[in-house]
Structure 1
Amino acid sequence: MSTTATLEIDATITERGQTTVPAAIRKMLGVSKGAIVFKAMPDGTVIVEAKRDETEEDPALEAFLTFLAHDIARNPQAPVPLSLELLQEGHDLVGDVSVDLDSPLDDD
C-alpha cells in the first residue's frame, strides 16, 4: 500500500504508552472526545478512525426525514397514488436490474 501523507504531525508517547491525538487529527476525524480505532495494516501503516456507534444516527438521513416531516406538515393533502404511466416509466428505467442490498459495495 503506497500512500502519501496529506498531513504529518509529530506526537510523543509517554512512558505509560499514552499519547494525545493532535487537534488537527481530531478535527479530520470529526471527534472532540470519545473512542477512536487503530487499524494495523499488513504493510506496517496504522489507520486511525473515529469509532462510530452502530446505532448512531445518520445526520444525512435525519436531515432528510426532518425535511419530509416539514413538507408533509406544509402539504397535508392525502398522498396521490402513482399513475400506471409513471409506474411503467419507472419499470422502463430500471429494466431487469436486480439489487442485492446485502452485498458489499464496489470500490468504484
Structure 2
Amino acid sequence: MGAKPTFSVDATITARGQTTVPSAIRKMLGVEQGHITFTGMSDGTVIIEPKVDKSHVDPAIGAFLQFLEKDIAKGNVVPLQQTLLDELDDLLGDADVDMDAPLSDD
C-alpha cells in the first residue's frame, strides 16, 4: 500500500467480538451512522471504508464519461498548450489562489 498512516486510534473488542468505531475514524470516513466495509489484505492489514450505495449512482456520470471517451477518440480533446497556461498566468497576475478553499456565495 502506498498510503502512510496519519494517526492511530485504539479500540477494544468485547467478548462477543463487538467494537465501537472510534469517533476520529468515523469522521475520517465521513460516516456517523450506517454501514462500513472491512477488507482484509494478504499482508494482514485491514482497510475500512464507507460502504458505497450502488443504487445511489449519478446517472449523468456514465453518460458524460461515454461522451468524453468519444471526443478523445475523435481527437477533440487535446492537452493544454503552454501558450494558454501562460495567458492564464498573465490573467491571474500575483493573485493568490487557494484551490482547496470553499467557493463563496458570490
TM-score by structure 2 length? 0.52
* Pair 93,30 (structure 1): closer, same or farther in 2 beyond 3 Å: same
RMSD: 2.8
* Structure 1 residue ranges (4+ consecutive) displaced by more than 4 angstroms after TM superposition: none
Question: What does residue 15 of structure 1 align with?
Answer: 15
Question: What does residue 31 of structure 2 align with?
Answer: 31
Deviations 1:19-45 (A, max 9, x none): 000111001111111110000001110
Distance 2:75 2:51 in 1: 42
Out of 73, 77, 91, the residue aligned to residue 94 of structure 1 is 77
How many residues end up aligned between the 2 structures?
Answer: 66
Select the structure of larger CA radius of gyration. 1
- Residue ranges of structure 2 left out of the alignment (5+ in a row): 62-73, 79-106
Report the AA paired with residue 24 of structure 2: A
* Pair 92,33 (structure 1): closer, same or farther in 2 beyond 3 Å: closer
Deviations 1:51-100 (A, max 9, x none): 01102255xx7xxxxxxxxxxxxxxxxxxxxxxxxxxxxx66438xxxxx
Distance 1:3 1:54 in 2: 25
Distance 2:4 2:75 in 1: 45
Distance 1:11 1:3 in 2: 22
- Residue ranges of structure 1 left out of the alignment (5+ in a row): 62-90, 96-108
Report the AA paired with residue 54 of structure 1: K
Give SS of 2:11's match: coil
Aligned-pair identity in percent equals: 56
* Pair 43,2 (structure 1): closer, same or farther in 2 beyond 3 Å: farther
Report the AA paired with residue 20 of structure 1: T
Distance 1:3 1:32 in 2: 23
Distance 1:94 1:5 in 2: 37
